[in-house]
Amino acid sequence: MFKFFKKTKVISHIRLTGVIGNVGKFRQGIEFSNQEETIKKAFSVKKAAAVAITINSPGGSPVQSHLIYKFIREQAKKNKKKVIVFAEDVAASGGYLIACAGDEIYANASSIVGSIGVIYSSFGFKDLIQKVGIQRRIYTAGKNKSTLDPFMEEKEEDINRLKNIQLELHQEFIDVVEASRGNKLKKENGVEIFTGEFWSGKKAKELGLIDGIGNAEQVLREKFGEEVEIKNFEKAKGWLARKLSSEDQIEKAISLLEERSIWQRYGL
């Protein structure tokens, strides 16, 4: 008697964790340049039934988010692969933009999802430097070159110019979400999806921002069988091969604080 064995399905799996963009020379954020080869390799597995992407990111650079989103969609089309995205603790702002590259998006009920907006933050030190007797000397060619200098008084025209740029970027983000989620989005009960607000995974499902609740292993086994083989692809981890100077340590501390502040927007 011959035994017939069910063929094991293979799923390529990529993990994207961290702030998107350049977070300093001591820590690598999620950037197109350091993810391109990993994404290519995952999609190039011919026998893979789909590509799964796990995201744990509070966002960051809108440019890097768009580059990665676009590249994932290009690779999916080129290799004829379905993309399934899983949000862990958070897929917010640029993290959610990348998630929109998925044909399906899943999250934990307690995941933070959304934050479809654009933010710019800075500090104003004008009064501080006056108090300690420091004079600000700045020379430019081009009247707008010193726009929003933190050591000078804010100008309304500079703020308006920045807001116009933010509105353009926000609209691009909205276009991506609407193209990805289509009629899955639920714009009822007075809830506005594109205000920059973020929600739990449970609420995100009600709003149509994700397709279901569940983690990667659970959902992939339900879809492709208990014997599914999950093939992980990760970029090589960088390391620092020299002793840090005091200046390096200060720069590293500042970089960590900036990165931490992005995560803390979502209570993490």
pLDDT of 128: 72
According to the model, what pLDDT value does residue 191 have?
67
Q: What integer is the mean pLDDT of 117-141?
A: 74
User: What pLDDT is recorded for position 236?
Assistant: 58
268: nearest Cα among 122, 87, 61: 87
Quick: pLDDT tens for 82-92.
999 999 999 99
Task: Provide φ and ψ at 245, rounded to 5°.
Answer: -80, 170
66 has a pLDDT exceeding 80? yes
Cα separation, 29 vs 25, in Å, equals 10
Cβ atoms within 10 Å of 47's Cβ, excluding its own: 11
What whole-number distance in Å separates Cα of residue 230 and Cα of residue 35?
19
Q: Which domains does the chain have, with CATH numbers?
A: 10-117+183-264 (3.90.226.10)
- Mode of pairing for the β-strands spanning 112-114 and 198-200: antiparallel
User: Where residue 12 falls among pLDDT bands split at 50, 70, 90?
Assistant: very high
Chain length of the chain? 268
Distance CA 17, CA 22 (A): 13
Q: Are 55 and 93 in contact (CB under 8 A)?
A: no
Residue of 190 and 114 predicted with greater confidence: 114
pLDDT above 70 for 264: no
Helix (H) or strand (E) holding 89: strand 82-92
Q: What is the pTM of this model?
A: 0.81
CB atoms within 10 A of CB 84: 23
pLDDT of residue 147: 73
In this structure, the dihedral spanned by the alpha carbons of residues 154, 155, 156 and 161, taken in order and rounded to 10 degrees, is -100
At residue 65, does pLDDT exceed 60? yes
Range among 27-31, 150-154, 183-187, 256-260 rated most confident: 183-187
pLDDT at 140 over 90: no
3-state secondary structure at position 152: coil
Q: Is 240's pLDDT higher than 50?
A: no
Written as six digits, the tokens of 218 are 């659970």
Give the model's pLDDT for residue 23.
66
pLDDT band at 7 (very low <50, low <70, confident <90, very high): confident
Is 161 or 268 the better-scoring residue by pLDDT?
Answer: 161
pLDDT at 93 over 60: yes
Q: How would residue 239 be classed by pLDDT, with cut points 50, 70 and 90?
A: very low
At a CB cut-off of 8 Å and minimum separation 6, what does 56 contact?
Answer: 15, 16, 17, 18, 87, 88, 89, 90, 91, 95
Six-digit token string for 112: 């933070």
Q: What is the C-alpha end-to-end distance of the chain, expressed in Å?
A: 58
Q: Is the dihedral of CA 87, 92, 95, 99 positive or negative?
A: positive
Is 173 strand, coil or helix? helix
Q: Which of residues 123 and 161 earns the better pLDDT score?
A: 161
Q: What is the mean pLDDT of the chain?
A: 83
pLDDT for residue 2: 47
**Cα gap 242→268, rounded to integer Å:** 31
pLDDT the model gives residue 190: 59
* 144: pLDDT strictly greater than 90: no
Q: By C-alpha distance, which of 56, 72, 176 is closest to 116?
A: 176
